[in-house]
Amino acid sequence: MASLTFRPAGPLGQVARGGLAGIAGAVISAGAQFLLVVVVTRTFTAYQAGTFFTATALALMVAGVAKLDAGNGLIYFIARAKTSNYHGISGYIRVALVPAVLLATACGAALYPRLGLPAAALPVMVSADLLLAATRGFGAMRPTVLLDGVALPTLQLLLVAAAAVAVRPQWLPLAWALPYLPVALLAAIQLRERLPRTPYLPGTGRDLWRYTAPRSVAGAIQAVFQRLDIVVVALLGGPVQAAVYTAATRFKVVGQLANQGLAQAVQPRLVRALADGELGRARELYQAATIWLVLLTWPVWLGYAALAPWLLRLFGPGYGAAVPVALVLAGTMMMATACGMVDVVLTAAGHTTASLLNLVVAIACTVALDVALIPAHGAFGAVLGWAGGMIAKNLLPLWQLHHRYGLHPFGRHSLPALRFRSWTTA
């Protein structure tokens, strides 16, 4: 195995630079989102903050469903079309955009009486996401980093801060939704600069949706799982408990960032190793990624658990009562990271149906526990429901990998991985 280096040129260097750029954008986005929550909770009442957080969480969840995972389909077909000079690729973009935007428009119209402007923004949100995904298909990470990672959350933070200075809670939905419009327009311009004019090819829609349809179901369920907890706690516990829960669980993005960065580097190599029957190589990659994920995140979670009584005060008076929520969050995330990128390994092995069923079980566990616990325990009951779902989401694929391949997150490859040896072949 070769030393871990960043080469100035070549495919490996491009992957490294793209991955680092993506993580940098995600870090900026997470920081802006955290500050946005602080501004809202310290300026407005818990009821107003909870109402706002619930509306935005529901809008993001519906947008995740309405996208139909067409972005991944576009990346797949655009990347493959490079060998034919992107012949007919404009047709793929049209057949991906139209159904997703129409579905988002229908959902927005249905939800507008309840959500207002966040619902009206759904078609623009979906368009922006798919257009940026298409630019990534052409090999460009910069539009996604600058527009989705930097511009969008920064504009949202600035506009929400303006609403806070004016003490106008009714401005919050507009402040959150409006930045999606310039992002979508700039994404369209970026894509237009890269998109060659080519004829529409017969069978384009059939090909794209044949590939994307099975993934759409999994993408929709994943979108629901990511945001369901906030919506359920608002429905069962009220907006005040939703505000407390949102504030206390905002640190979840830390673990997601580390996992995202490692997954970008390891996932394609896991696919190749398992496709070639190189089980030893897959085991080495899995264990190396897991030990680094633990080293990167466990100090953060231990620190959050220890400092939670002080950190939660950043959100304002009354949020310090959410310390038990923070402790459950930290312990659950430590368990999840100790399992490693277990679902990534399972899907890399081709078991996408098993991954989908695991996610369904996780959502069922979350909803069942939420219904049982939130009415009596509020935000604490919600985090227990989320924890139950996370345990199912990680332990089920962990058992499946052990049963089918004998793979474990820790083993003889864990300690050697700490010597900065590469996870890629030369």
Q: For 324-360, how does the pLDDT look when each residue is reduced to its tens digit (9 = 90+)?
A: 999 999 999 999 989 988 887 887 777 778 888 998 9
The count of other CB atoms within 10 Å of the CB of residue 18 is: 18
Retrieve residue 99's tokens.
């159904």
Could you give the count of Cα atoms lying within 13 Å of 30 in the half-sphere of its Cβ?
Answer: 17
The whole-model pTM stands at 0.79
Q: For 169-208, how does the pLDDT look when each residue is reduced to its tens digit (9 = 90+)?
A: 999 999 999 999 999 999 999 999 888 776 666 667 888 8
- Given a cut of 80, whether residue 278 has pLDDT beyond it is no
Tell me what pLDDT residue 84 has: 58
- Given a cut of 70, whether residue 401 has pLDDT beyond it is yes
Q: Does one domain contain both 104 and 163?
A: yes
The count of other CB atoms within 10 Å of the CB of residue 103 is: 18
> Confidence class of residue 386 from pLDDT cuts 50, 70 and 90?
very high
| Number of domains the chain is built from | 2
Give residue 240's Cα distance to chain centre: 25
> Confidence class of residue 11 from pLDDT cuts 50, 70 and 90?
very low
Q: Does one domain contain both 190 and 258?
A: no
Output 421 or 379, whichever has higher pLDDT: 379
- Work out the average pLDDT over 14-27: 55
Which DSSP helix (H) or strand (E) runs through 224? helix 204-237
In a domain, 104, yes or no: yes
Retrieve residue 28's tokens.
């900026």
Q: Does one domain contain both 286 and 426?
A: yes
Q: Does one domain contain both 99 and 183?
A: yes
State how far the Cα of 344 lies from the Cα of 276, in Å rounded to an integer. Answer: 17
Output 367 or 271, whichever has higher pLDDT: 367
State how far the Cα of 245 lies from the Cα of 294, in Å rounded to an integer. Answer: 25
Q: Does one domain contain both 266 and 337?
A: yes
Domain stops at, among 155, 189, 213: 213
Contact by Cβ (8 Å): 103, 67: no
Q: Does one domain contain both 148 and 269?
A: no
State how far the Cα of 241 lies from the Cα of 379, in Å rounded to an integer. Answer: 5
Tell me what pLDDT residue 306 has: 93
Tell me what pLDDT residue 1 has: 38
Q: What residue has token string 């994943």?
A: 222
Domain that holds residue 340: 249-426
Which residues, including other chains, have CB under 8 Å from residue 232's CB and lie 6 or more apart? 366, 367, 370, 374, 382, 385
Q: Does one domain contain both 209 and 285?
A: no
Q: Does one domain contain both 202 and 271?
A: no
Q: How far apart are the first and last CA of the chain?
A: 7
Tell me what pLDDT residue 280 has: 78
In a domain, 222, yes or no: no
Average pLDDT of the chain to the nearest whole number: 83
In a domain, 233, yes or no: no
Q: Does one domain contain both 405 and 349?
A: yes
In a domain, 73, yes or no: yes
In a domain, 391, yes or no: yes
Positive/negative CA dihedral, 90, 92, 98, 104: negative
Could you give the count of Cα atoms lying within 13 Å of 371 in the half-sphere of its Cβ?
Answer: 5
Q: What backbone phi and psi angles, to 5 degrees, belong to 25?
A: -65, -40
Contact by Cβ (8 Å): 297, 255: yes
Domain stops at, among 168, 196, 213: 213
In a domain, 235, yes or no: no
Q: Does one domain contain both 208 and 255?
A: no
State how far the Cα of 15 lies from the Cα of 246, in Å rounded to an integer. Answer: 34
Contact by Cβ (8 Å): 414, 286: no
Q: Does one domain contain both 112 and 6?
A: yes
Q: Does one domain contain both 64 and 161?
A: yes
In a domain, 123, yes or no: yes
Share of the chain above pLDDT 90, in %: 44
In a domain, 237, yes or no: no
Domain stops at, among 169, 198, 213: 213
What interhelical angle do 379-405 and 323-338 show, nearest 10?
A: 10
